[in-house]
Amino acid sequence: MKLIPQSIPEILIIQPQLHGDDRGYFAETFRQDILEEYTGKNFNFVQDNESKSSKGILRGLHYQLNPYSQSKLVRVIEGKILDVCLDIRKSSKTFAKHVSVELSSDNKKQLFVPHGFAHGFIVLSDTATVVYKVDNYYSPKYERGIAFDDKELSIDWVLPKDIIKLSDKDKSLPLLANAEELFE
């Protein structure tokens, strides 16, 4: 596995090495020891999640507050998405900056999203199945979010706004400037 830091260095692309022959391929998709050695932090992924969505579905930008904040390891097993991580650590030099990465079943890239970031994705293919590990349990009481279309963030979601579909919950998320609770 190759770990590739992004413009915000805590965000990592994890590129598995494929070993293929006429039978197909094999790849290690996760190695806790490599991730821990690289980040200097211990991880204990406790929950795996999976979602299947159609083109134009946008999920996010979501995060959970302490003590239920989550690191995530995201990958696509079918289709293609644009995955976005937004730095919501108020004391960070990259506060309000984001990283966008295309993840697909073809490129096999994974995205590591650490604590202190809001996360979301939009489906670019006809359908996409996204799976991700989290290091803390889902807690609706601690769940928060940021509006995907906050103009101050300048996030290019690739698809035209008129075909983007949101949940009712995501339609009511605040702008970053109006978010009551972020990370220090």
The pLDDT tens digits of the residues spanning 4-25 come to 999 999 999 999 888 989 998 8
The answer to whether 138 is a known catalytic residue is no
The pLDDT tens digits of the residues spanning 41-88 come to 988 999 999 999 999 999 999 999 999 999 999 999 999 999 999 999
How does residue 31 score in pLDDT terms, banded at 50, 70 and 90?
confident
Tokens of residue 6, six digits? 């992004």
Fold entry, domain 8-178? Jelly Rolls (2.60.120)
Catalytic pick from 63, 98, 119, 132? Answer: 132
Bridge pairing between strands 80-87 and 117-123: antiparallel
| Interatomic CA distance for residues 90 and 77, integer angstroms | 33
DSSP character string of 55-67: TTBEEEEEEE-TT
Question: What pLDDT sits at residue 83?
Answer: 98
Catalytic pick from 38, 62, 115, 142? Answer: 62
Whether 62 contacts 143, CB under 8 Å: yes
Question: What pLDDT sits at residue 131?
Answer: 98
Question: What pLDDT sits at residue 136?
Answer: 97
Instruction: State the DSSP H helix or E strand holding residue 168, giving kind and residue range, or none if neither.
Output: helix 168-171
Q: Write down the domain spans for the chain.
A: 8-178
Residues β-bridged to residue 107: none
Question: What pLDDT sits at residue 67?
Answer: 96
The pLDDT tens digits of the residues spanning 83-140 come to 999 999 999 999 999 999 999 999 999 999 999 999 999 999 999 999 999 999 999 9
Whether 147 contacts 62, CB under 8 Å: no
Indicate the Cα dihedral angle 150, 167, 156, 97, nearest 10°. Answer: 50
- Model's pTM, two decimal places? 0.94
The answer to whether 62 is a known catalytic residue is yes
